């Protein structure tokens, strides 16, 4: 849009992510590669929760480190959640 001779632009981004479900590793009976995959999924989901909690704390004026690089999921979503 334009106002007072200045052109303004508005951009939006929508990230849709299908998150895997977390599993209780002991009760799932997973072994080997499936256990390793379940462990990685649980770690990624936990890290995502921590990232969101720290971003909320930052928005409330507290200083926190946001661990985007602690999992591939949060590293890839960093651009989308930085302005949460």
The 3-state DSSP class for residue 64 equals coil
Strand partners, 2: 7
| Section 19-34 average pLDDT | 78
Which pair of structure tokens corresponds to residue 51?
Answer: 């990232």
Average pLDDT rounded to a whole number, residues 48-67: 92
Give me the mean pLDDT over the 44-52 stretch: 93
Section 45-65 average pLDDT: 92
Alpha helix segments (H runs only) across the chain: 25-28, 32-59, 72-81
């Amino acid at each position: 849009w334009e106002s007072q001779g200045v052109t303004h632009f508005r951009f939006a981004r929508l990230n849709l992510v299908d998150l895997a479900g977390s599993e209780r590793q002991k009760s799932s009976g997973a072994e080997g590669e499936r256990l390793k995959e379940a462990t990685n999924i649980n770690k990624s989901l936990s890290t995502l929760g921590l990232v969101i909690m720290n971003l909320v704390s930052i928005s409330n004026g507290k200083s926190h480190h946001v661990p985007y690089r602690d999992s591939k999921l949060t590293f890839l979503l960093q651009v989308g959640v930085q302005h949460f």
